[in-house]
Amino acid sequence: MVIAVFAAVALGIRLDFRIYGSRPLITLLLLFAATGIPDVVITTHYAYLNPEMEGNPLTALFLSFEFGIVLGAFLWAFLWIALAELFLRINLRPLAYFTLLSLFAGHLLGLLTWAGTIETGSIRYLSWVLGFAYTILIWAALELWKKAKE
């Protein structure tokens, strides 16, 4: 599922989204990713094929079938990035900022709802997955930052 999130970002780069050329928007994308990645990892770890543990009905739907969360994570990330891109293209930059900032806040709250559920034995597994994801995130962010014009 982490790869699905990065695939969504890569598709936006391939489609030449302008959002990746703006340093303020890259910063907001990083905040979105910094909370969204652990949210999807922890949600998947605890609720995969066990959708009754998830409060969001759409996420629960994707958690109810095998590999559905991979498709869901890809669509979730890509569609929100595409919406922010649309706002940027129709000259509604504040709405692009608001969209990404809201996603950061929402994922932060979603991540915090799992805090009481995380088992000590899961920390090692989650640490490896998140460490890998954050390594790619930091590398990709630095590459995007170098290419951004504003």
Across the chain, which has 150 residues, the per-10-residue mean pLDDT values are 88 94 92 89 84 87 89 94 96 95 90 76 79 88 85
Structure tokens at 66: 């095998």
Q: What pLDDT, on the 0 to 100 scale, is given for residue 90? A: 96
Q: What pLDDT, on the 0 to 100 scale, is given for residue 51? A: 87
Q: What pLDDT, on the 0 to 100 scale, is given for residue 99? A: 95
Structure tokens at 95: 């709405």
Q: What is the DSSP string of 47-93?
A: HTT-GGG-S-HHHHHHHTSTTHHHHHHHHHHHHHHHHHHHHHHTT-H
Q: What pLDDT, on the 0 to 100 scale, is given for residue 120? A: 67
**pTM: predicted TM-score of the whole model, two decimal places:** 0.83
Residue type, 116: G
Q: What pLDDT, on the 0 to 100 scale, is given for residue 148? A: 87
| Residues 30-43 as b or e (16 or more Cβ within 10 Å = b) | bbbbbbbbbbbbbb
Q: What pLDDT, on the 0 to 100 scale, is given for residue 101? A: 94
